[in-house]
Structure 1
Amino acid sequence: MNMPVEVKQTLTDLLQIQRDAFQANPAPSYAERVSQLQSLKQGLIKHQHNLTQALRQDYGHRSIDDSMISDIMPCINNINYSLKHLKKWMKPSRRHTGLLLAPAQISVQYQPVGVVGIIVPWNFPVMLAIGPLITAIAAGNRAMLKLSEFTPSTNKALIAMLAEVFEQQTVAVVEGEADVAAAFSALPFDHLLFTGSTTVGKHVMRAAADNLTPVTLELGGKSPVIIADDIDLETAVERLIYGKCLNAGQICVAPDYVLLPKGKTAGFIAAYKAKFNKMYGQVADNDDYGAIINQRQFDRIHAVLQDAKDKGAHIEPASEEQKTSSYRKLPTQLISGVNDDMLVMQEEIFGPLLPIVEYDTLEQAISYVNQRPRPLALYIMSFNDATQQQILAQTHSGGVCINDAVFHVAADDAPFGGIGPSGMGHYHGKEGFLTMSHAKTILRRGKLNTGKIVHPPYGNSLQQMLMKFFVR
């Protein structure tokens, strides 16, 4: 689809407005940044009801408590953490000169990069808009947000909140379909952060490359759960089930499949069903269990499920209720007897399907993970230190939870990001501040100039002595 000229011009004009404002104030003070973050926090608190109701409307149904826990509360915690540490992050760091450069001083100054573009997905449209924005503001930048076309009610609530807090020259918001997103990613930002699928992430990175725009890609992939032989199944299920059921599994770090010791599938399914029914019971009229975002995604999930069934998998619903598509709600579907020919084992599920793969040895489970693209998250269910260390040492993933699931994303004092096809770059905490800052090295000399020692003409005795001293 061709982008209308006026839309392209609007995006370019918005970027220029922000770039001009940044040039007028390229180094916002600590006080300015604190003021902006505090205003954003008050905006979130004031508009929390509107935001959670809008999320509920966009999904057809979404638990208010889930939205508070996963969208609103993490943003407020992030702001509080940033406010506590921002002064320390902004302080230039002293570095060692070494004998070769002495006498001199070397420091690293952390400068705002300029205007940051943020492309927001539909699954957590508040947290994944405001979270990166907090980081951008803390680092002293301006920001433009492209909101998802699949969350119009939430977009409206976000726009209203942000308009109260920021002028357009500081934070600007863009809506539109895929063509607008493509034009947005092609803008010459100073940094671009994208959260979404690996497939779209490739297009975003390709567009950014034309401008040599640095990118942070928060993607996903198939995040495995390795259940070791030492842990009882009830405990393992208790630790992973919330991560699978939150937002009906529509999470980039949701447990995607389970690796289980051979012969334990029936026990795992029984334990999962028992725990699911204690947490939710029937899901159709349950206020605590979320819906699939739209009919397109609901149909996609059913197609993946049907493909597995047609190819010989056994499907066991976590709840035995009669399902109705009018609710777009689906309890976890436990899928055993899977193989690599099935779609459910080829692509990120992003929904309430949970394949189960049995293994003979822990080494076999580790090999299974390593033969596939590196995931955004990996979950280890074991209380054995040696088992934990073996898996940690022999696998790669964006992050890890041991005896838990998804909660590592809530750690403000630790980086979040993927590896390889599950993403690149980090944000959250100090690493986010560094991602959206330019670390500028400054060497400062006084009146004594030792650098002239290495000036031509070469070959004098002092230079030869220096060569012998340093090249050894």
Structure 2
Amino acid sequence: MREVPAMSTVFDAMLAASRHDQTPPWDIRADRLRRLKRLVRDNHEAIASAISADFTNRPRQETALLEVFPSLAGIDDALRHGRRWMRVRRARTGLWFLPGKSRLMPQPLGVIGIVVPWNYPLYLAVGPLTGALVAGNRAMVKLSEFTPRFSDLFARLVQASFAPDEVTVVNGDAAVAAGFSALPFDHLLFTGSTQVGHHVMKAAAANLTPVTLELGGKSPAIVGPGADFERAVERILVGKLLNAGQTCIAPDYVLVPADQRDRFVETARRCVGRLYPDIARNPDYTSIISPRHFGRLVSMIDAAADAGARVVPLTDAAPDAAARRLPPVLLTDVPGEIQAMQEEIFGPVLPVVTYRAVDDAIAFVNARPRPLALYVFDKGRDVVDRVMQQTVAGGVTVNDTLFHIAQDDLPFGGVGPSGMGVYHGKAGFETFSKVKPVFYQAGLNAAGLLKAPYGKRFEAMVKMLMR
């Protein structure tokens, strides 16, 4: 595997700095967080413009809502609670070891590697970076080659705000990403596709580098029989069409009662008309990131139609390859083996699957790999509780979509093929820390009785311990 000399040199310097300053105090951590906050806050307009140019069009309002706001909120949460998170904590000591004491001491791991995808390049860089910095680490950030304008801007902003041995941005192609993943980080966080996640994990395994993998998958939305139907459809469409569906936790298919399918289709069509009137020219609707991704989505729709699925456009607009605008479509009567039901869609295409009873919907979800997100809509507590108890997902929002990711006190992460490990808030602090267990022996203790030569007194002590 090709290694980038400059990248490994930066890593070596950062590693040496982390080992020299093993546990930075709170004032240093807080200063780094405040510099990161200023970087985002003072440059959010330029950041939004760069991201929009990378997409051809993405409304600055979406960048503000989905990237700038949660980035700043996460930093504020870390500033508010980080001093408390880093305190040494008491732990219970076994009865037979009293009056000794047990403690848990959080310490920085050292150098954190963060691999960032193209779909939310600011938030998915700043979110993990916040966790790394509040835990006292240094970090190297690899940005996506699919967002060259943002990546160049962010690298310059970081360079102006941080010393090279605090935070460094690495830009480059897939070969650079492969070399980055092979560096012997103290922890590596990757956000991206499951396919690439396999390669990242293999590269990290050579160094026994622990990894957090934030992957994707097919996140279901279940519309229960007691749902507020009109609101459920709107919230599913909002979650699906933000960033034109290029969101790892966007609803990837929807399960509706069989007798409500046609109503769902008509309600969805009206909803899209309200959300994005004149969608072909509407500046609020995001473009697909690249010609390759646009072509993949068009081919996915065509393949579904060829397999017998019904393609239901939700607007009168046609796909525009030049502007990479793909109007939203529903797929009904979908065969289970088609690409749209096997792969994460990552675009404005939504399969609609019908069910007869809630248990059938649950069984449908459970017959597939565990998703990164799950959404359930119903006014009845019994339906919601049944879905919660009988399914496993990385995270859940009830009667809405997406919002569980914005809660700083909720860990964010996948399960199984949708990922491993968590971050955000205190969970991120602990992911990027070694919570070191320490036992303090008391001056007066009975440990001296538990040693050779073994005799009657030792046997009596062991019998007492094993009662």
Q: What is the CA–CA distance in structure 2 between the aligned matches of 1:232 and 1:451, rounded to whole Å?
A: 65
Q: What is the CA–CA distance in structure 2 between the aligned matches of 1:413 and 1:252, rounded to whole Å?
A: 20
Structure 1 moving runs of 4+ over 4 Å: none
Contact 1:283 1:330 in 2 (8 A): no
Q: What is the CA–CA distance in structure 1 between the aligned matches of 2:446 and 2:191, rounded to whole Å?
A: 49
Superposition pairs of residues 64-213 of structure 1, within 5 angstroms: 64-213=60-209
Q: What is the CA–CA distance in structure 1 between the aligned matches of 2:313 and 2:259, rounded to whole Å?
A: 20
Query: Counterpart of 1:234 in 2: which secondary structure?
Result: helix
**1:391 corresponds to 2:397:** no
Superposition pairs of residues 278-293 of structure 1, within 5 angstroms: 278-293=274-289
**1:321 corresponds to 2:317:** yes
Question: Deviation at 1:368?
Answer: 0.5
Contact 2:155 2:170 in 1 (8 A): no
**1:265 corresponds to 2:257:** no
**1:411 corresponds to 2:386:** no
Aligned residues: 467
The C-alpha deviation readout for 1:430-454, integer Å capped at 9, x for no partner, is 0110000001111112322422211
Query: Counterpart of 1:169 in 2: which secondary structure?
Result: coil
Question: Deviation at 1:322?
Answer: 3.3
Segment drifting more, 155-164 vs 400-409: 155-164
Q: What is the CA–CA distance in structure 1 between the aligned matches of 2:169 and 2:156, rounded to whole Å?
A: 10
Residue 460 (structure 2) aligns with: 465
Residue 334 (structure 1) aligns with: 330
Q: What is the CA–CA distance in structure 1 between the aligned matches of 2:181 and 2:232, rounded to whole Å?
A: 41
Segment drifting more, 97-106 vs 361-370: 97-106
Gaps of 5+ in 1: none
Q: Under a length normalisation based on structure 1, what TM-score does the superposition of the two structures give? A: 0.97
Letter of the structure 1 residue corresponding to residue 62 of structure 2: D
Question: Deviation at 1:331?
Answer: 2.1
The C-alpha deviation readout for 1:316-339, integer Å capped at 9, x for no partner, is 111112332212111221110101
Contact 2:32 2:133 in 1 (8 A): yes
**1:242 corresponds to 2:244:** no
Question: Deviation at 1:233?
Answer: 2.5
The C-alpha deviation readout for 1:288-328, integer Å capped at 9, x for no partner, is 11010010100000111110011111111111123322121
Superposition pairs of residues 450-461 of structure 1, within 5 angstroms: 450-461=446-457
Of the three residues 220, 224, 230, the one matched with 1:228 is 224
Q: Under a length normalisation based on structure 2, what TM-score does the superposition of the two structures give? A: 0.98
Letter of the structure 1 residue corresponding to residue 450 of structure 2: V
Query: Counterpart of 2:43 in 1: which secondary structure?
Result: helix
Contact 1:256 1:349 in 2 (8 A): yes
Superposition pairs of residues 368-387 of structure 1, within 5 angstroms: 368-387=364-383
Cα pair distance change 1:99/1:312, threshold 3 Å: same
Contact 1:28 1:140 in 2 (8 A): yes
Query: Counterpart of 1:326 in 2: which secondary structure?
Result: coil
Query: Counterpart of 2:4 in 1: which secondary structure?
Result: helix
Contact 1:144 1:171 in 2 (8 A): yes
Residue 357 (structure 2) aligns with: 361
C-alpha RMSD of the superposition:
1.1
Question: Deviation at 1:390?
Answer: 0.4
Gaps of 5+ in 2: none
The C-alpha deviation readout for 1:146-203, integer Å capped at 9, x for no partner, is 1101000000111121112101111111111111111111110000000001111111
Letter of the structure 2 residue corresponding to residue 440 of structure 1: K
The C-alpha deviation readout for 1:20-79, integer Å capped at 9, x for no partner, is 111221111100011111111111111111100000100000010000111111110001
Question: Deviation at 1:105?
Answer: 1.1
Q: What is the CA–CA distance in structure 1 between the aligned matches of 2:355 and 2:178, rounded to whole Å?
A: 43
Question: Deviation at 1:138?
Answer: 0.3
**1:300 corresponds to 2:296:** yes
The C-alpha deviation readout for 1:95-121, integer Å capped at 9, x for no partner, is 111222222111010000000000000
Q: What is the CA–CA distance in structure 1 between the aligned matches of 2:122 and 2:173, rounded to whole Å?
A: 18
Segment drifting more, 230-239 vs 208-217: 230-239
Query: Counterpart of 1:350 in 2: which secondary structure?
Result: coil
Contact 2:318 2:327 in 1 (8 A): no
Letter of the structure 1 residue corresponding to residue 128 of structure 2: P
Contact 1:117 1:193 in 2 (8 A): yes
The C-alpha deviation readout for 1:251-280, integer Å capped at 9, x for no partner, is 000000011111211100110111111111
Letter of the structure 1 residue corresponding to residue 270 of structure 2: A
Q: What is the CA–CA distance in structure 2 between the aligned matches of 1:451 and 1:155, rounded to whole Å?
A: 58
Letter of the structure 2 residue corresponding to residue 467 of structure 1: V
Question: Deviation at 1:414?
Answer: 1.1
Q: Matched residues, percent identical?
A: 43
Residue 29 (structure 2) aligns with: 33
Query: Counterpart of 1:217 in 2: which secondary structure?
Result: strand
Q: What is the CA–CA distance in structure 1 between the aligned matches of 2:435 and 2:383, rounded to whole Å?
A: 39
Letter of the structure 2 residue corresponding to residue 448 of structure 1: L
The C-alpha deviation readout for 1:191-226, integer Å capped at 9, x for no partner, is 000000111111111111111101000001000011
Letter of the structure 2 residue corresponding to residue 140 of structure 1: G
Q: What is the CA–CA distance in structure 1 between the aligned matches of 2:230 and 2:178, rounded to whole Å?
A: 46
Contact 2:228 2:377 in 1 (8 A): no
Letter of the structure 2 residue corresponding to residue 286 of structure 1: N
Contact 1:43 1:164 in 2 (8 A): no
Residue 440 (structure 1) aligns with: 436
Letter of the structure 1 residue corresponding to residue 449 of structure 2: I
